[in-house]
């Protein structure tokens, strides 16, 4: 399979992966991001991580697919930064765009966004040609705390809107810290495989994992947003990424041995999680003998699992080496 390497931010050559066409080609990604006062200590991390997420998505090319992005920030109010912009036209966030303050009106943010998505779908359906399939809509909600100040939507109303959204073919993911995001997501009607617990100090890893999960769905490797055990581990602080080496710590064995997807997308942060995130890397999965080779994003080289021919070549090389050593000893 083709490999995406490089990062435009450091002027690497980029060769986007072109995946096969799918029935529903177009994708709308909505991100609703917490901007309450408790996020202030991670202000620059949030900016860097989200910009890296957008770069990740820009480098994924699915044949015939049009991908658009929408971004909203919320605290005690909801601020729509941009809506349904073609992915290639999405600007990078700056410090002027993101200044955390105030409280966490999580229900109101989700409720208003779900209503906007429903309204946009109705308008698009009325204007669309009969042969045009509706876009796949992905909604990602990210927060570092629980609800504490909503006034417009109740919990039951949010659950109803989410169920309606899913029934129309939408997909929703919930990322949360300082809480049990899995349980809280389930209470709202969000599938546990689509929710992610993250540690505040691993925000970049969490957004990186989100980008990989969204990429897998866009490319058709998965049918919805799903996080792997490895992604859950690294987002909660269980794995430390060190791009000075191609190895991980002992926790890197926490992968799903029964991974069904044909493609795994991973990427890595630099400087122990304080630097930019690289683009997604597509690696084939050998179902019979899974051998995932984790390569730093800035190495520009991804080594795939050895095929039979490579294994034979290595064996021959070892034999030649042993033979040469024997001859030297005799001489």
- Does residue 112 register a pLDDT over 80? yes
The Cβ of residue 254 has, within 10 Å, a number of other Cβ atoms equal to: 15
> Binning pLDDT at 50, 70 and 90, where does residue 259 land?
very low
Residue 126: predicted pLDDT: 72
Q: Which residue has the higher pLDDT, 59 or 252?
A: 59
Paired sense of beta strands 263-266 and 281-284, if any: antiparallel
Angle at 176 between CA 40 and CA 89, to 5 degrees: 70
For residue range 19-72, list pLDDT tens digits in order: 444 455 799 999 999 999 999 999 999 999 999 999 999 999 888 899 999 999
Structure tokens that stand for 27 in this block: 């994708």
Helix ranges restricted to H, the chain: 43-58, 106-127, 155-167, 181-188, 203-219, 229-235, 308-330
- Asked if 146 contacts 184 with a C-beta cutoff of 8 angstroms, the reply is yes
Angle at 270 between CA 85 and CA 211, to 5 degrees: 35
Residue 61: predicted pLDDT: 87
- Asked if 98 contacts 47 with a C-beta cutoff of 8 angstroms, the reply is yes
For residue range 266-283, list pLDDT tens digits in order: 333 322 333 333 333 333
Residue 227: predicted pLDDT: 97
Q: Is 247 exposed, middle or buried (0-12, 13-18, 19+ CB in 10 A)?
A: exposed
User: Which strands form 195-197's sheet, in the order they lie side by side?
Assistant: 78-86, 67-74, 27-34, 136-143, 171-176, 195-197
- Return the axis-axis angle of helices 43-58 and 203-219, rounded to nearest 10°: 20
For residue range 156-214, list pLDDT tens digits in order: 999 999 999 999 999 999 999 999 999 999 999 999 999 999 999 999 999 999 999 99
Question: Considering only CA atoms, which of 279, 298, 300, 225 is closest in space to residue 58?
Answer: 279
Architecture of domain 23-233: 3-Layer(aba) Sandwich (3.40)
Q: What is the mean pLDDT of the chain?
A: 74
- Does residue 287 register a pLDDT over 50? no
Give the list of residues 6+ apart from residue 104 with CB closer than 8 angstroms, or none: 34, 36, 38, 74, 75, 76, 143, 145, 146, 147, 148, 149
What is the torsion angle, in degrees rounded to the nearest 10, for the CA atoms of residue 198, residue 264, residue 28 and residue 274?
A: 40
Q: Which residue has the higher pLDDT, 215 or 260?
A: 215
The span from the CA of 105 to the CA of 113, in Å, is: 12
Domain boundaries, the chain: 23-233
Bridge partners of 33?
73, 142
Residue 63: predicted pLDDT: 87
Question: Considering only CA atoms, which of 225, 83, 68, 241 is closest in space to residue 142?
Answer: 225
Paired sense of beta strands 60-62 and 67-74, if any: unpaired
The conformational region for residue 158 under phi > 0 = left, psi -120 to 50 = alpha, else beta, is alpha
Structure tokens that stand for 36 in this block: 């309450």
Residue 125: predicted pLDDT: 73
The span from the CA of 69 to the CA of 51, in Å, is: 12
The span from the CA of 271 to the CA of 313, in Å, is: 36
Distances (CA, A) of 126 to 114, 145, 281, 303: 19, 38, 38, 48
DSSP 108-151: HHHHHHHHHHHHHHHHHHHHS-TTPPPPEEEEEEEESS------
Share of the chain above pLDDT 70, in %: 63
For residue range 294-316, list pLDDT tens digits in order: 323 232 233 333 344 444 444 45
Residue 58: predicted pLDDT: 95
- Does residue 142 register a pLDDT over 60? yes
């Amino acid at each position: 399979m083709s490999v995406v390497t490089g990062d435009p931010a450091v002027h690497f050559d980029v060769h986007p992966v072109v995946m096969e066409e799918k029935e529903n080609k177009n994708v709308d990604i909505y991100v609703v991001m917490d901007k309450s006062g408790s996020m202030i200590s991670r202000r620059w991390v949030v900016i860097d991580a989200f910009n890296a997420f957008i770069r990740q998505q820009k480098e994924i090319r699915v044949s015939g697919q049009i991908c658009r992005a929408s971004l909203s920030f919320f605290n005690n109010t909801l601020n729509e930064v941009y809506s349904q912009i073609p992915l290639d036209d999405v600007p990078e966030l700056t410090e002027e765009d993101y200044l955390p303050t105030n409280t966490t009106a999580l229900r109101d943010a989700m409720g208003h966004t779900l209503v906007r998505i429903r309204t946009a779908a109705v308008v698009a359906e009325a204007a669309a040609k009969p042969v045009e399939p509706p876009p796949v809509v992905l909604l990602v909600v990210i927060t570092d705390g629980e609800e504490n100040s909503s006034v417009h939507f109740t919990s039951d109303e949010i659950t109803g809107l989410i169920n309606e959204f899913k029934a129309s073919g939408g997909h929703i993911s919930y990322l949360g810290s300082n809480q049990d995001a899995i349980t809280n997501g389930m209470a709202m009607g969000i599938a546990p495989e689509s929710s992610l617990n993250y540690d505040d100090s691993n925000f970049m890893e969490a957004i990186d994992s989100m980008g990989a999960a969204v990429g897998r769905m866009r490319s058709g490797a998965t049918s919805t947003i799903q996080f792997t055990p490895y992604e859950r581990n690294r987002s909660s602080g269980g794995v430390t990424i060190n791009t000075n080496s191609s190895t991980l710590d002992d926790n890197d064995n926490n992968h799903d041995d029964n991974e069904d997807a044909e493609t795994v997308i991973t990427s890595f942060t630099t400087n122990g999680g304080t630097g930019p995130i690289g683009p997604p890397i597509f690696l084939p999965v050998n179902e019979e003998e899974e051998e995932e080779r984790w390569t730093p994003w800035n190495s520009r080289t991804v080594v795939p699992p050895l095929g039979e021919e490579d294994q034979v070549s290595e064996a021959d090389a070892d034999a030649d080496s042993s033979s040469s050593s024997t001859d030297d000893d005799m001489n």
